[in-house]
Amino acid sequence: MADHTKRVTQLGSKAPVPVEVIPFAERPVADYLRSLGARVEKRLEKGGERPFITDENNIILDCYLPPIANPQQLATAIRQQPGVVEHGLFLHMASDAILATPTGIEHLTRP
């Protein structure tokens, strides 16, 4: 479920891909993500002074990428890097999406 502004024709074209990282692995993971073509920014708490910390005491690296031609390949590459806990490319996890649009509800299904 999401609002219509989340809909994109290609992943990476609108918002960064979040990558949860164990804090002591921040530098090598950030370097690795840059080698994959990402512009990497550490997510900060509101106010911008301290890093955002997850429930598991990890950090989030927001990865700004060009439109992603092969999301599965990128997801696999990210997960292979030691220090990565998870990424925000939630592939093949849902067959339905419900979008709230200015004109009503849109129900999308994957074949």
Structural domains of the chain, count? 1
| pLDDT (average), residues 66-72 | 91
**Do 88 and 97 form a contact (C-beta atoms < 8 A)?**
no
Q: Which residue has the higher pLDDT, 20 or 13?
A: 20
Range of the domain at 56: 11-89
CATH of the domain at 16: 3.30.70.260
The string of pLDDT tens digits covering residues 73-106 is: 999 999 999 999 999 987 778 888 888 989 989 8
- Report the range of poorest mean pLDDT among 17-26, 58-67, 97-106: 97-106
Distance CA 79, CA 71 (A): 12
**Do 60 and 18 form a contact (C-beta atoms < 8 A)?**
yes
Residue 6 falls inside a structural domain: no
pLDDT of residue 53: 96
